[in-house]
Amino acid sequence: MNRLQRYDQNVFSIADLQREGTKKLSKMVGEYYNEGAMDLLSMNDNVAAFDRVRLRPRVCIDVSQVDMSTECFGAKVKMPLGFSPAAMHGMAHDDAELGTSRAAAKAGCNMVLSTWSNHSIADVVNAGDGYGNAYGQQLSMVECWDTNMHMIRNAEKAGCAALVLTVDCAYLGRRLNEYRNDFTLPEHLTFPNLPPGINPYNFVQSDPRTAYDRAFTWDKVEKIVKSTSMQVYLKGILTAEDALLAAESGVHGILVSNHGGRQLDGAISTFDALEDIVAAVKGRIQIHFDGGIRRGSDIFKALAMGADYCWVGRIPVWGLAYDGENGVSLALKLLYDELLITMALCGCSKLSDIRRSHLARLRGDGTFAKL
């Protein structure tokens, strides 16, 4: 009575999903997905930052109907959560990005595809056809302009609504698990979004078609904005200074992100970065949030801090590893129910009811103070 549905015998939270999904992966693949750069300081702090802020619930408010729907990439979606780009879903399960796409579409969830996906952007978009959600294509700019434009034109042709430029990847972060495990790509995987002739198994040798553009500047951001009909978002913004420059560059929005702690270890957590960024640019461009979400209450906290939309990258991978497409659907059901309960118990019947006043931050004396 009054308890929401149970969906699985073993998985009742995202923490359960991570544990059970990881059990089904090899050590090399599991650590590739679950770890980050160097000592994992930023990766772990992305999660811990949410616990430094608590909820201030309001009561005696009509929450008989809770509406979590919103708009993102021009699509009406059922909740303010989408799948951010994560490479090689095919390492987790044979359903790969097609399974992720089907689960996302059925749940009214947007999805951004990694450049290093194992299915083409056209096939991934087609897998979600008919449900009304929207898709984006991620791109880390490389030295070869023709390669960049190849990716952009293919995404436009496939019907993508957004281009998500990763801007925190001048160098690849030093991920010690890849060295320890001698990480290599499974030979059965394909990378159909890359232009023909590229060797995806070449991790070290320089190829301008895959080498990150270390001279990628704001001028080039503006050039990209003018080169595509898609909305352009920048993923990897952590400071108000860069958020302001992004707003001036003409992009539609940003993703506040530290690459899941996989790039610069010791960088500020995404949740801690969000407050200054919102204060600097709220209302000028869309502010999306990516990093450390493990519960529906985390989504609520990010929205209360001023984010317009949230993204998760590892969670669909854990779902795939656990039970393919069904595991991804399970993850979305859990997060939907958790956000629903959090909103209702905080007295919010719609997303616009969520306020900073619903949050309290941990102080140095161990107590919590209202924001």
Instruction: Give, for all 371 residues of the chain, the pLDDT tens digit.
Output: 688 899 999 999 999 999 999 999 999 999 999 999 999 999 999 999 999 999 999 999 999 999 999 999 999 999 999 999 999 999 999 999 999 999 999 999 999 999 999 999 999 999 999 999 999 999 999 999 999 999 999 999 999 999 999 999 999 999 999 999 999 988 889 999 998 888 877 766 578 988 899 999 999 999 999 999 999 999 999 999 999 999 999 999 999 999 999 999 999 999 999 999 999 999 999 999 999 999 999 999 999 999 999 999 999 999 999 999 999 999 999 999 999 999 999 999 999 999 999 999 988 888 888 88
Residue labelled with tokens 């700019």: 141
Q: Estimate to the nearest angstrom the gap between the alpha carbon of 258 and the chain centroid.
A: 11
The answer on whether 3 is annotated among ligand-binding residues is no
The answer on whether 314 is annotated among ligand-binding residues is yes
The answer on whether 288 is annotated among ligand-binding residues is no
Please give the Cα distance from 195 to 83 (Å, whole number).
24
Note whether 344 and 57 are within 8 A (CB).
no
Domains with residue ranges and CATH for the chain = 14-358 (3.20.20.70)
- 60 contact partners, CB below 8 Å, separation of at least 6: 347
The answer on whether 290 is annotated among ligand-binding residues is yes
- 313 contact partners, CB below 8 Å, separation of at least 6: 83, 84, 85, 86, 260, 290
Q: Which of 89, 119, 252, 259 is catalytic?
A: 259
Strands (E), 206-337: 231-237, 253-256, 286-290, 309-312
How many residues in the chain? 371
Output the CA–CA distances (angstroms, integers) from residue 225 to 85, 115, 161, 231, in the order listed: 20, 18, 13, 8
Say what the alpha-carbon torsion angle 245, 304, 110, 250 is, to the nearest 10 degrees.
-20
Residue labelled with tokens 């990766």: 43
Mapped onto helix, strand or coil, the DSSP state of residue 232 is strand
Active site residue 150: no
Mapped onto helix, strand or coil, the DSSP state of residue 59 is coil
Note whether 222 and 250 are within 8 A (CB).
yes
- 9 contact partners, CB below 8 Å, separation of at least 6: none
The answer on whether 220 is annotated among ligand-binding residues is no
Please give the Cα distance from 224 to 218 (Å, whole number).
10
